[in-house]
Amino acid sequence: MSITETALQAPAATEERRAVSALRPCLLLWRREMIRLRHNPVRLAMGLVTPLLFLVVLGTGLDAASGNLGKAQLNDYRAFLFPGVLVMSVQAPAIAVGISLVWDRRLGVLRQMLVAPFPRSSVVLGLALGGATTGAIYGLLVLSVGGIASIRYTPVLLVVMVEVLLISLLFTSLGLLAAVTIRQVDTFQVVVNLSLMPLMFFSGAMFPPNGLPGWLAVVVKLNPLTYGIDAVRRTLPGPDVLSSEQTRLLVGGWHPPVVAELGLLAAIVALALGVATYRFSSSK
């Protein structure tokens, strides 16, 4: 090999080493989240309690009540509620990653990460992927009991899992953005708790997003989670109620396609991760 060829290959080898160096911490942080999940099976089991309560108790109760009153607008309320319950199961474990980052800062673990010789963006990306994977595992567990809501077990559920993973990544990204902005553990938990419940209530998870009063319709359509739940609802292989006119999300008379809804979520994820990485990189 000539000296010229060696000189040309050297920069390429350096770039490759840099890419591997940036990927390694990302994989290590993702693995840390998976180890935490594996060593805490009680947390995994408890994550199913709230979704099942909503699905079995609330869904069955409201379904029976609407039938008794003769005002049933939906054929099966549990089938309508299931996408919201599925997304609800994803949000808590994903946001927990943000809480762990705040604790890492308080305990000094974050300082060790910051002095390590790898890009800080790898830390944010690794935590985001770890949290998103944890949330998706919770979503998978809820999907496994989807038969309660007449969900059919078909290969289409793999597409639903991709959507759930994206929504989980959305929650994780927002949680990390809050974690790099808020430094106090107590304040962070208060802000997250006050944010999650309205995010779910104003998402059309509990009631059809179409035909709402003026102010409520505006808030629901400004909530990005509305589009995530609508995408899952339209993809889930369930009863006909999932695609009825009553449950359809209309924006100015237009029903956005699933691809556009997922694209919106992906754009918000990219924006949140970008801002979180910038703030994390500029922190000391």
| 36-90 per-position pLDDT tens digit | 777 777 766 766 777 777 777 666 666 665 655 444 455 577 788 888 889 988 8
Number of domains the chain is built from: 1
DSSP 206: S
Please check the confidence at residue 28 and state whether its pLDDT lies above 50. Answer: yes
Q: Which residues of 41-64 are buried (b: 16+ CB within 10 A; e: fewer)?
A: eeeeeebeeebbebbeeebeebbe
Q: Is 15 part of any domain?
A: no
Q: What is the pLDDT of residue 96?
A: 80
- Comparing CA positions, the residue from 39, 26, 173 lying closest to residue 113 is 26
CA angle 51/248/160 to nearest 5° reads 45
* 16 falls within a domain: no
Q: Would the pLDDT of 203 be above 60?
A: yes
User: Residue 3, Cβ neighbours under 10 Å: how many?
Assistant: 7
d(Cα 195, Cα 47) in Å, to the nearest integer?
Answer: 19
Write the CA distances from 102 to 105, 124, 144, 189, integer angstroms.
5, 13, 32, 10
Q: Residue 232: inside a domain, yes or no?
A: yes
DSSP 172-231: HHHHHHHHHH---HHHHHHHHHHHHHHHHHTTTSSS-STT--HHHHHHHHH-HHHHHHHH
If one compares 87 and 105, the residue with the highest pLDDT of the two is 87
Question: Within a domain: residue 37?
Answer: yes
Range scoring the smallest mean pLDDT among 6-15, 81-90, 173-182:
6-15
> For residue 171, what are its two tokens?
């929650």
Residue 28 forms part of a structural domain:
yes
- Could you give the CA distance from residue 168 to residue 129 in angstroms, rounded to a whole number? 9
Domain assignment present for residue 7? The answer is no
DSSP state of 56: I
- Predicted local distance difference test score (pLDDT) of residue 158: 93
In a domain, 227, yes or no: yes
Q: How much is the pTM?
A: 0.79
Enclosing domain of residue 164: 23-282
**CB distance 276 to 124 below 8 Å:** yes
Q: Is 1 part of any domain?
A: no
Q: Do the Cβ atoms of 264 and 229 come closer than 8 Å?
A: no
